Chains A and B, each alone.
Chain A
Amino acid sequence: MPTPASGSAAVWAILRKECLSEWRTRYGLNAALLFAVTTLASVSFAVGRLGDRTDVLAAMLWIVLLFAALSSLSHTFVREVEGHTLTLLRMSAAPTPIAVGKLLFNLLFLVMIELVTVPLFLVLMGAPPPNWPSLLLILALGSLGLALAATLAGAVIAQSRGRGALYAGVSFPLLLPVLAAAVSATRAQWSGAGMAMEIRLLASYAFALLAASLILYDHLWED
């Protein structure tokens, strides 16, 4: 087992490496932002402002965030396999710090996407002014859940042969509870309804995913 000091050094090194690689290649960020901006612009042109349809607005916000981020989130491990750098990574750090470093990068990536997408969404869709503390809490917990689910599914399928098809099958049941609770809570913060149950669900689901991930990551590459 790695010591806490060496584990945190490895997590930090992985996070820095992921950021530097993304900055140099713009592998995911440009594609994700392009998807978010074009989707919002297209819907805005087609249906105009959706100010009073908070149910549609809530669903659309999370669909745009999910699809903008998912292609990159799912590829954090696949890139290592296809770039033949997995052996280098495995010889450099233990599986759990590697996965935690990649999880933190995915979380950071989601925050970057949200910093652009959420304000643009509110303006282009003509959404009612949000309850900012509530919306930020929902975005934080929803992003944590999405990043945990996508990173876990990406890690599990990375070395399989039919990983493209397998990813959808593995990630769908993991992502669905996050999306359902996040959409419901986002709608509630606009309508003024209570959302305590959704917040508890998002928090406990994220905690359960984190616990499962930390147990599973240590056995990632055992054959």
Chain B
Amino acid sequence: MTLTERDPAPVGAVAPALALEARAVEHRFSPGRGLPAVSFSHAGPGCLAVVGSNGAGKSTLLRLLAGLLRPTAGTLTLTVDGGEVPFPARRRVVGYVSPELSFYDELSVGENLDFVASARGLASPAERVRVSLERVGMTARADDRVAALSSGMKQRLRLAFALLHQPPVLLLDEPGSHLDSEGRDVTESIIDGHRRNGLVVLATHDERENQRADSSIRLRGGLGHSA
């Protein structure tokens, strides 16, 4: 299967076959920092939790999956419908939520998402923006400048950004952070909706979010365990 920017393998009626496989994958920023060697495999659809203490490498693992980093050793493959997705093309098939993801303060919520939709070459960007904002309950905030948003609203905007291109894989790094109970309900409904036909990889400390996973990987001292 050839994935193009305009045809980003949407999560639709027919669920794509999704698989992750890590073989002694690691990424070291410096000695003792980063992701220690970890091996695991997981086939979607479903929800995979990545747990571990602070600094264990959860965010680094998600950045590797998103194609934002490359392993310094080992391999990490993401397969969609039998075809391996190379690192530079990962952004087309993953939706990424992370605390490090920031938006342009001087632009409005809608302008930020419209920019992303246009840069991705999506058909009907305005409609995609509308649907994404509706899913995270931010329709009324479309014209607000990002600089004026609370941290909870920025977190919802990150979710809208991740959903914009209807990716088959969602990578969620601490998706519940800064969210109120309504925001957490929104996040949980997104996870529950997506896991049926797509793959959700969830890095979290939140026990409530963790319980939604089908399986989990615990990162500790360089060992990965599939539970």
Chain A residues close to B by CB (< 8 Å): 1-3, 5-6, 9-10, 12-14, 16-17, 20-21, 24-25, 83-85, 87-88, 90-94, 97, 221-223
Tell me how many residues of B have a C-beta within 8 Å of chain A: 28
Contact (A88, B120) CB under 8 Å given A20-B107, A21-B107, A222-B70? no
A88 to B161, Cβ gap below 8 A?
Answer: yes
A83 to B104, Cβ gap below 8 A?
Answer: yes
A17 to B104, Cβ gap below 8 A?
Answer: yes
Contact of B68 among A3, A10, A87 (CB under 8 A): A87
Chain B residues close to A by CB (< 8 Å): 4-6, 66, 68-70, 88, 91, 96, 98, 100-107, 111-112, 115-116, 118-121, 161
B96 to A91, Cβ gap below 8 A?
Answer: yes
Question: Can you offer 12 A-B residue contacts whose CB atoms are under 8 A?
Answer: A10-B119, A10-B121, A12-B118, A13-B115, A16-B118, A85-B102, A88-B101, A88-B104, A88-B161, A92-B120, A223-B69, A223-B70
Which residues on the B side are within 8 Å of A6 (C-beta)?
4-6, 120-121
The total of interchain contacts (Cβ-Cβ below 8 angstroms) comes to: 86
Q: With A and B bound together, what is the CA distance between A87 and B96 in angstroms?
A: 10
Smallest distance from the beta carbon of B196 to chain A beta carbons, Å? 24
Main secondary structure of the interface of A (DSSP, over half): helix
Closest to A86 in B: B102
Closest to B101 in A: A87
Closest to B161 in A: A88
Known pairs A10-B121, A13-B119, A90-B68; list 18 more (Cβ under 8 Å): A6-B121, A9-B119, A9-B120, A14-B119, A20-B106, A21-B106, A24-B106, A83-B105, A84-B100, A85-B102, A87-B101, A88-B101, A88-B104, A88-B112, A90-B91, A91-B96, A91-B116, A92-B115
